[in-house]
Structures are given as structure tokens and as C-alpha cells.
């Protein structure tokens, strides 16, 4: 099935008496288990689109279906509920709680949705093992390398079994060797059936995806298989 369907999605920011049309009619369909990179120059609307896809904000016009739910008309509380259930976020800056262990950081989304403690811990351990961080689960972020911190963030994104993983510049703070390791982990998660949407400025990183969507001036300006994937199929 289709996990993401947008129809003529507009986002207009009001800035005093000025209007900024950040998105001007985005039509995008992403199926279950696709691996999509979103590219585009600074100011083209990538962050705005990610915020809408991630249910962090509502569109000004148009429709958005996430895993069959029409989410374009939900209020903030309803958006928060669906976001927690359907979306796993991974950020450039990791966004981990500095004072909490890896295990606790990964349990947080489950605390928010009221999962019982024993199940919470079991599921957090399982995803930490999946990202090869089992031996580091009692470490805090400052006791981990950048790549390990991003693995904790990826485990946190996975723990609710979301319908999509949304990664915004996930290698932006990592050296090139660590970036390759993190992209290998995303490839593994994709092979296991996850749907991944990745925003990146870097063409080399976008090539790990199977499909590259480019945004320019608030619309989709190109949408094609990545060269690497086209060569494989």
C-alpha cells in the first residue's frame, strides 16, 4: 500500500503583511518499503515538506494521507498522537537526552504512549541490539561516539515500529567513514521492510536511496530512480 500520499500540498507562511509560499502544490506518493531521498537547494522547501510529512505542522491547502489516515485537517493533539504512532524521526543533531542512558532515550517514545514498563525495556533492548549497541545500552550520549549516538537515535526511531522513518540530514554531523556505516545501517533497515525518507544536501548520500525526489521553489522538479539503484535493476 501507499504510506504517503500528498495532493496539491501548499504551505504559506505569514510574515507580517508578507506571504512566503514555501510549498506550491506538492504531489508525492511513497509506497510501503520505498527508500526515498529528498534533495534540493537551500530554501526550496525541504524542511517545510518534512515538517508536513512528519505531522509537525499542517498544510495551508491540499490533502495528505499518512498510512490511510487523512491527516491534513487534524488539530495539534491529533497530529501529535499520529506522529508518535506512525513516524520515527532521525535528526542531524541526534536530539538525545544528555542525562539519560541509551536505553532510557530509546524507551522515551514508549513512555509517551503508555507502554507497560517491562515491555518497554524489552523492546528498547531489542532495537538497540538491532543497531549493534547492545553493549552500550547503559552509556549516556557523552560516553558514545557520534556514530553511536546516531545509532541510539535510529533505535529510538524504530522502537514504535513506525510506518516511516524520516531522517533529516542524518549524516550531517558525522565524518565520512561513520556516514558510510550509518548509511549501511539504513540499507539494512530498508531490506528488513522499513520505509525510509531521507533529506540530504549531499548527492553521494542520496545515492544510497532507491529514488531521488528533487524539490525546487516549492514543487517537485524531478523524481527518478537513483543511478546506483537503476544500475542494479
Of 43-51, 112-120, 145-153, 190-198, the window that binds ligand ADP (rule: CB under 6 A) is 43-51
Residue with cell 524539490: 215
Give the end-to-end CA distance of the chain in Å, rounded to a whole number.
22
Minimum gap (Å) between residue 48 Cβ and ligand ADP: 3
**Which x/- pattern over 46-75 shows residues binding ligand ADP (rule: CB under 6 A)?**
xxx---------------------------
| Residue written as grid cell 501529535 | 80
Apex 179 CA angle, 174 and 180, nearest 5: 160
User: With CB under 6 A as the contact rule, which of the stretches 36-44, 109-117, 145-153, 224-232 interacts with ligand ADP?
Assistant: 36-44
Q: How far is the CB of 30 from ligand ADP (least distance, A)?
A: 18
Q: Smallest distance, Å, CB 9 to ligand ADP?
A: 12
Buried b (16+ CB within 10 A) or exposed e, 117-144: eeebbebbbebbebbebeebbebbbeeb
- 88: part of which helix (H) or strand (E)? strand 87-91
Size of the site for ligand ADP (CB under 6 A): 12
Angle at 194 between CA 190 and CA 200, to 5 degrees: 65
C-alpha span between 113 and 87 (Å, rounded): 13
Stretch that binds ligand ADP, among 1-9, 35-43, 69-77, 125-133 (CB under 6 A): 35-43
Q: Which of 16, 17, 42, 77 binds ligand ADP (CB under 6 A)?
A: 42
In the list 43, 68, 134, 203, the residue contacting ligand ADP (rule: CB under 6 A) is 43
Q: Judged by CB under 6 A, does residue 93 bind ligand ADP?
A: no
Residues that bind ligand ADP (CB under 6 A): 13, 15, 20, 22, 40, 42-48
Amino acid at each position: 500500500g501507499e504510506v504517503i500520499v500528498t495532493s496539491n500540498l501548499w504551505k504559506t507562511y505569514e510574515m507580517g503583511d508578507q506571504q512566503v509560499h514555501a510549498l506550491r502544490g506538492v504531489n508525492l506518493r511513497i509506497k510501503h518499503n520505498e527508500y526515498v531521498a529528498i534533495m534540493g537547494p537551500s530554501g526550496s522547501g525541504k524542511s517545510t515538506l518534512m515538517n508536513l510529512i512528519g505531522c509537525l505542522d499542517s498544510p495551508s491547502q491540499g490533502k495528505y494521507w499518512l498510512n490511510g489516515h487523512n491527516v491534513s485537517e487534524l488539530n495539534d493533539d491529533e497530529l501529535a498522537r499520529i506522529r508518535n504512532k506512525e513516524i520515527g524521526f532521525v535528526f542531524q543533531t541526534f536530539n538525545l537526552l544528555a542525562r539519560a542512558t541509551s536505553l532510557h532515550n530509546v524507551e522515551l517514545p514508549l513512555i509517551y504512549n503508555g507502554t507497560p514498563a517491562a515491555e518497554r525495556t524489552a523492546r528498547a533492548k531489542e532495537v538497540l541490539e538491532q543497531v549493534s549497541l547492545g553493549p552500550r545500552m547503559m552509556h549516556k550520549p557523552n560516553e558514545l561516539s557520534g556514530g553511536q549516538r546516531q545509532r541510539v537515535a535510529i533505535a529510538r526511531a524504530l522502537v514504535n515500529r513506525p510506518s516511516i522513518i524520516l531522517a533529516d540530514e542524518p549524516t550531517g554531523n558525522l565524518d565520512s567513514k561513520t556516514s558510510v556505516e550509518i548509511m549501511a545501517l539504513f540499507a539494512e533497515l530498508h531490506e528488513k521492510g522499513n520505509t525510509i525518507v531521507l533529506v540530504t544536501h549531499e548527492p553521494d548520500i542520496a545515492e544510497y536511496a532507491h529514488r531521488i525526489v528533487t524539490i525546487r521553489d516549492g514543487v517537485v522538479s524531478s523524481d527518478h530512480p537513483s543511478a546506483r539503484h537503476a544500475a542494479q535493476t
